[in-house]
């Protein structure tokens, strides 16, 4: 899908932070070319910074706010606050800054592996990834599935939708897609959780948008917050179903929730996001999201 292992490795490298001081890290710009820093990469870098301060323990939830647009041409400074280290849980707060101003705030909780009760809701569809359609099935380029200003290099993500973007009908409050990182990843649970955080921001906000508009071209859009819950271990380079719904839009904000399943039907994670979706006036500039 227009990518090779080099592109996947470059994405992984963008999450390998430089340690400046204790609890202080520098994230270097991603190779993706955008007017604004993609929210998923900032969230992933912040979670990566938090992971650098814990040992042998995995994230189970995160809650975050996008505060200012990020600049992809300069590094992101990530300041980790070690809120608490307990016997079973650890809590971290991360503030991402550029030019001395906070652009993103993350709170993450980590939990040791424990035995306990187990149940989950049933995966809502049974069609696998190859029963969905890729861009080539619609006579499209892989880049047509992504914002027009994202990049000039290969895309290290493979996506298959239940229908083409042109077929999204106003009023539809849900959509599904299969996605994965399109290459090999390190055999490290933290890397896969970080990559899933990155992927989860990819299309969730568009669920509410597509209920009212075919694209972001006629509105001002931006992610406002993002939350995730990690239920079970995941491999981000295996096919994952993203079942997305938009229960509400009001006051120029759209609310979206998503559940992420493995091909086996295992529910591995859930996400929720509210985004700005302000209709444009003639003098406004379209969103870069």
CA angle 10, 16, 19 (to 5 degrees): 145
The encoded tokens of residue 233 equal: 């271990």
How do the domains of the chain map onto residue ranges?
5-113+130-279
pLDDT of residue 145: 58
The encoded tokens of residue 44 equal: 């992933």
3-state secondary structure 6-72: HHHHHHHHHCCCEEEECCEEEECCCCCCCCCCCHHHHHHHHHHHHHCCCCCCEEEEEEEEECCCCCC
pLDDT of residue 233: 98
The encoded tokens of residue 108 equal: 């993450």
DSSP conformation class of 133: B
pLDDT of residue 197: 98
pLDDT of residue 7: 86
Q: Check: CB of residue 25 under 8 Å from CB of residue 18.
A: yes
What strand order describes the sheet that includes 18-21? 18-21, 24-27, 76-85, 89-98, 101-111, 58-66, 219-230, 267-279, 253-262, 240-250, 174-181, 157-161
Closest CA to 230 of 275, 264, 200: 200
C-beta neighbour count of 233 within 10 angstroms:
13
C-beta neighbour count of 119 within 10 angstroms:
5
Q: Name which CATH class applies to 5-113+130-279.
A: mainly beta
Per-block mean pLDDT, blocks of 10 residues, the chain (289 long): 75 92 91 73 97 97 97 95 98 98 98 96 91 74 56 74 68 88 95 97 88 71 95 98 96 96 98 91 55
Distance CA 83, CA 97 (A): 19
Q: In the chain, where does DSSP find H-type helix?
A: 5-14, 39-51, 189-200, 205-210
Q: Check: CB of residue 273 under 8 Å from CB of residue 204.
A: yes
Positions annotated as catalytic residues are 201, 223, 273
pLDDT of residue 289: 44
Distance CA 178, CA 127 (A): 10
The encoded tokens of residue 109 equal: 């909780």
pLDDT of residue 104: 98
According to DSSP, the residues that pair with 128 across neighbouring strands are none
pLDDT of residue 1: 43
pLDDT of residue 229: 99
Is residue 130 packed enough to be buried (19+ CB in 10 Å), middle (13-18) or exposed (0-12)?
Answer: exposed
Q: Check: CB of residue 76 under 8 Å from CB of residue 27.
A: yes
pLDDT of residue 288: 47
Q: Check: CB of residue 72 under 8 Å from CB of residue 241.
A: no
pTM of the model: 0.90
pLDDT of residue 211: 83
> Dmax over Cα atoms in the chain, in whole Å?
57
């Amino acid at each position: 899908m227009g990518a090779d292992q080099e592109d996947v490795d470059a994405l992984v490298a963008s999450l390998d932070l430089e340690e400046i001081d204790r609890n202080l890290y520098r994230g270097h710009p991603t190779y993706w070319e955008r007017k604004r820093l993609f929210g998923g990469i900032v969230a992933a870098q912040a979670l990566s910074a938090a992971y650098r301060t814990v040992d042998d323990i995995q994230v189970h939830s995160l809650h975050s706010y996008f505060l200012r647009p990020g600049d992809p041409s300069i590094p992101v400074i990530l300041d980790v606050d070690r809120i608490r280290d307990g016997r079973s849980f650890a809590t971290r707060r991360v503030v991402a800054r550029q030019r001395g101003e906070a652009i993103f705030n993350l709170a993450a909780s980590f939990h040791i592996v424990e035995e306990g009760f187990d149940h989950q809701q049933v995966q809502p569809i049974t069609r696998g990834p190859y029963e969905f359609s890729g861009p080539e099935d619609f006579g499209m380029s892989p880049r047509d599935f992504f914002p027009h200003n994202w990049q000039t290099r290969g895309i290290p993500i493979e996506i298959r939708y239940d229908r083409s973007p042109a077929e999204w009908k106003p009023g539809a409050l849900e959509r599904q897609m299969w996605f994965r990182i399109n290459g090999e990843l390190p055999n490290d649970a933290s890397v896969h959780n970080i990559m899933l955080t990155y992927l989860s921001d990819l299309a969730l906000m568009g669920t509410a948008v597509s209920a009212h508009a075919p694209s972001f071209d006629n509105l001002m859009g931006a992610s406002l917050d993002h939350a995730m819950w990690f239920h079970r271990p995941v491999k981000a380079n295996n096919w994952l179903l993203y079942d997305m719904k938009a229960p509400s839009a009001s006051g120029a904000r759209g609310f979206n929730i998503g559940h992420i399943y493995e091909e086996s039907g295992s529910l591995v994670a859930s996400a929720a996001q509210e985004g700005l979706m302000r209709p444009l006036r003639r003098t406004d500039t379209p969103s870069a999201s």
